[in-house]
């Protein structure tokens, strides 16, 4: 897995005819690195993740993993290179947790067959790794929000891809589960996987990301390491609020100042 | 595995139901007697002279097999559509296929076609209805599920209107009752020809859906997630739709409109065996087959005169379904 690189080069995407949702986006991510896509609602983060996943086709269609263009390979080949944890995790999935996670093995199973013993073993390991063992026989719809998120991460994990895309992995999670999700991403990166995640919270980017891409109205405003990207000036520009950055033990903490809005 | 064991038990039970019901009717046989006639016939020792054996082989056996296959066809069709559409309220008539087949049969009866042609026209127009629904929903290289549901409703209502028009035009003394009885459904006239239709169209489709059971589970996550898992979404969607439509159309051709089974039996199967399509598809086939066989046997051998399947399926099915619903906590679709 090490050595591979995910590259997006100068892509644009438009949902309508003229109105560009994303303009001239480039980024690159190596195995073992974490990239945080930061930006307000509607800045194009989710659209960009769907492009990186090959679900939406941008212009030019230039998204590569280790030199392989994701738009020139089959869906199955693509699903062996990059995995997805979506933002909206459907609750209404009538499957048991173990069967849900097992679906992550789909790209490795030929169309007319069913999971092998190896697939089941990998899933059992993943359930252990993410602390989901005791929930294995439960229905997905019975899980809490945090458990569903973890199960989705486990499903993407068993896909065994060098890169993973997590769209707002901490959304709707409580304090503890947020930390757990961040910790899990860090561990996945330590195993050599490249992690791209989107977030609304600059602190999450500061906490775990190696590089931050700050998006604003469909374009990349600035990208680089967290210290370069996350400062009062850039955050105030994209969010339109006053923020304060407090430093403690060499780490930056971003806090919004309530009541002090800037006209965007 | 636990679920596999349950399915095996259900399959064996269904075989016993098959043997027992084969012996039921005006001329009663013990299960062993029926089994003996079956085995002798399979071994080529056709008991030419024995009129009772002929009743079993020529009249009762095709009807019993047709009931099994029609029940299995409609149930698997419903299970396939429900998984694909991620909707527990979907049944085999979702894309207007049954309405199309009903119209085709009505029209052919009105025009005095002989039975094989009535069946062929019903089948053809049923598939044409599917083609129309797909065409209306098709946009930019694919058909979204929500568009398919809407176009299916529109095309279904078009064919229902056409069916009403045919009934309106039909002679109320002769043709109208014929059409009405055909549509209400029944297996009284089942022949070996009907069994052949089902064996050639339904059985391979059910087998293919069974092989695709894993892909069906992925579809329950929604199309985008299925795509991210490496599934050729449009291809498999079309495949599942065609494979779910063929058995339902064949059933309609043989037994009339008995759509209720396709809505409810998949739920019974999911409650009993589990929600994954690995269990729901074979489970639906077995429960659906056994269910319709029991219902048809009640109609044929227990009641003083035969009732239409449409009527009897709900009389027998509703209490059973209500019992399951009250007894089990149903977690699947919430």
Residue of B211, B224, B270 with shortest CB distance to A55:
B224
pLDDT in tens, B101-132: 999 999 999 999 998 899 999 999 999 999 99
- The answer to whether A117 contacts chain B (CB < 8 Å) is no
Residue of A55, A109, A139 with shortest CB distance to B227:
A55
> Percentage of chain B with pLDDT > 70?
96
Which helix (H) or strand (E) element contains residue A148?
helix A145-158
A212 contacts: CB under 8 Å, gap ≥ 6: A35, A36, A38, A205, A223, A224, A225, A226, A229, A230
CATH 1.10.3470.10 fits B2-325, yes or no: yes
In order, the DSSP letters of A21-35 are SEEEEEEEEETT-EE
pTM metric for this prediction = 0.88
Mean pLDDT of A141-153: 89
**CB-based contact B230 A50, cutoff 8 Å:** no
Q: What are phi and psi of B264, to 5 degrees?
A: -95, -40
| Residue-level pLDDT at A263 | 53
Rounded-to-integer distance, Cα A7 and Cα A67, Å: 8
Report residue A151 as tokens. Answer: 């199960």
Distances from the Cα of A196 to the Cα of A149, A222, B58, B127, angstroms = 16, 16, 67, 46
- The answer to whether A110 contacts chain B (CB < 8 Å) is no
Rounded-to-integer distance, Cα B312 and Cα B168, Å: 26
**CB-based contact A139 B86, cutoff 8 Å:** no
Q: How far is B70 from chain A (nearest CA, A)?
A: 25
Q: How far is A100 from chain B (nearest CA, A)?
A: 9
What is the sign, positive or negative, of the torsion defined by CA atoms of B168, B169, B171, B175?
negative
Rounded-to-integer distance, Cα B207 and Cα B131, Å: 23
- Residue pair A85/A135 in contact by the 8 Å Cβ criterion: no
Assigned CATH for A1-81+162-236: 3.40.50.300
| Residue-level pLDDT at A260 | 58
Chain A hits for B214, CB-CB cut-off 8 Å, are: 106, 109, 113-115
Rounded-to-integer distance, Cα A198 and Cα A213, Å: 9
Average pLDDT, chain B: 89
Chain A hits for B333, CB-CB cut-off 8 Å, are: 92, 94, 141
What is the sign, positive or negative, of the torsion defined by CA atoms of B272, B276, B278, B284?
positive
**Is residue A221 pLDDT above 80, yes or no?**
yes
Distances from the Cα of B250 to the Cα of B92, B254, B318, angstroms = 12, 6, 25
What are the domain boundaries of chain A?
Answer: 1-81+162-236, 92-160
Rounded-to-integer distance, Cα B8 and Cα B3, Å: 9
**Is residue B334 pLDDT above 70, yes or no?**
no
| Residue-level pLDDT at B302 | 85
pLDDT in tens, A23-76: 999 999 999 999 999 998 888 899 999 999 988 899 899 999 999 999 999 999
Report residue B71 as tokens. Answer: 């029940």
Chain A hits for B231, CB-CB cut-off 8 Å, are: 75-76, 106
Chain A hits for B269, CB-CB cut-off 8 Å, are: none
Peptide bond into A60 cis (omega under 30): yes
Between CA B51 and CA B61, with CA B57 as vertex, the angle to 5 degrees is: 135
Strand partners, A69: A64
Mean pLDDT of B246-262: 88
The burial of A77, by beta-carbon neighbours within 10 Å (0-12 exposed, 13-18 middle, 19 or more buried), is given as middle
Residue of A90, A95, A107 with shortest CB distance to B275:
A95
Average pLDDT, chain A: 89
Q: In chain A, which residue's Cα lies nearest the Cα of B212?
A: A112
- The answer to whether B215 contacts chain A (CB < 8 Å) is yes
pLDDT-derived band at B97, boundaries 50, 70, 90 = very high
Rounded-to-integer distance, Cα B308 and Cα A139, Å: 39
């Amino acid at each position: 897995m090490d050595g591979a690189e995910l590259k997006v080069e100068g892509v644009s995407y438009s949902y309508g005819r003229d109105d560009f949702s994303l303009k001239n986006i480039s980024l690159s991510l190596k195995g073992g690195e974490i990239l945080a896509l930061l930006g307000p609602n509607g800045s194009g983060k989710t659209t960009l993740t769907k492009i990186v996943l090959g679900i939406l086709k941008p212009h030019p269609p230039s998204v590569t993993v280790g030199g392989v263009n994701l738009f020139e390979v089959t869906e199955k080949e693509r699903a062996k290179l990059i995995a997805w944890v979506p933002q909206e995790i459907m609750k209404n999935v009538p499957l048991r947790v173990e069967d849900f996670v097992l679906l992550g093995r789909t790209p490795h199973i030929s169309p007319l067959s069913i999971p092998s013993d190896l697939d089941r073993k990998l899933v059992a390991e993943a359930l252990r790794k993410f602390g989901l063992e005791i929930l294995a026989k439960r229905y997905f719809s019975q899980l809490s929000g945090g458990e569903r998120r973890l199960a989705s991460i486990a499903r993407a994990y068993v896909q065994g891809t060098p890169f993973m895309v997590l769209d707002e992995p901490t959304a709707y999670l409580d304090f503890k589960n947020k930390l757990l999700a961040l910790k899990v991403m860090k561990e996945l990166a330590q195993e050599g996987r490249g992690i791209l995640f989107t977030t609304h919270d600059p602190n999450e980017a500061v906490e775990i990301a190696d590089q931050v891409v700050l998006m604003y109205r469909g374009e990349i405003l600035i990208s680089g390491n967290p210290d370069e990207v996350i400062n009062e000036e850039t955050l105030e520009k994209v969010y339109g609020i006053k923020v304060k950055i407090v430093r403690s033990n060499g780490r930056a903490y971003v806090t919004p100042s309530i009541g002090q809005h800037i006209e965007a | 595995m636990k679920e596999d064991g349950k399915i095996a038990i259900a399959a064996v039970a269904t075989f016993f139901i098959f043997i027992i019901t084969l012996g039921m009717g005006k001329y009663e046989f013990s299960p062993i007697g029926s089994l003996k006639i079956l085995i002798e016939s399979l071994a080529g020792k056709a008991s030419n002279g024995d009129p009772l054996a002929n009743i079993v082989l020529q009249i009762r056996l095709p009807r019993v097999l047709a009931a099994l296959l029609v029940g299995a066809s409609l149930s698997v069709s419903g299970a396939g559509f429900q998984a694909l559409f991620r909707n527990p309220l979907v049944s085999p008539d979702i894309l207007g296929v049954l309405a199309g087949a009903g119209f085709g049969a009505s029209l052919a009866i009105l025009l005095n076609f002989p039975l094989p042609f009535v069946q062929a026209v019903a089948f053809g127009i049923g598939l044409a209805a599917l083609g129309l629904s797909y065409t209306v929903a098709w946009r930019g290289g694919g058909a979204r599920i929500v568009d398919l549901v809407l176009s299916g409703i529109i095309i279904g209502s078009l064919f229902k209107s056409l069916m009403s028009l045919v009934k309106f035009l039909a002679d109320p003394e002769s043709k109208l009752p014929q059409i009405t009885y055909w549509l209400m459904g029944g297996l009284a006239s089942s022949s070996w020809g009907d069994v052949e239709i089902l064996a050639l169209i339904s059985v391979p489709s059910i087998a293919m859906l069974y092989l695709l059971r894993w892909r069906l589970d992925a579809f329950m996550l929604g199309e985008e997630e299925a795509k991210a898992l490496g599934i050729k979404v449009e291809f498999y969607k079309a495949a599942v739709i065609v494979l779910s439509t063929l058995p339902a159309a064949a059933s309609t051709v043989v037994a009339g409109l008995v759509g209720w089974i396709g809505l409810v039996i998949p739920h019974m199967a999911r409650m009993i065996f589990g929600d994954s399509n690995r269990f729901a598809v074979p489970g639906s086939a077995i429960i659906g087959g056994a269910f319709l066989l029991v219902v048809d046997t009640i109609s044929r051998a227990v009641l003083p005169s035969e009732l239409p399947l449409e009527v009897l399926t709900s009389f027998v099915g509703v209490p059973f379904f209500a019992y399951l619903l009250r007894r089990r906590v149903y977690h699947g679709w919430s």
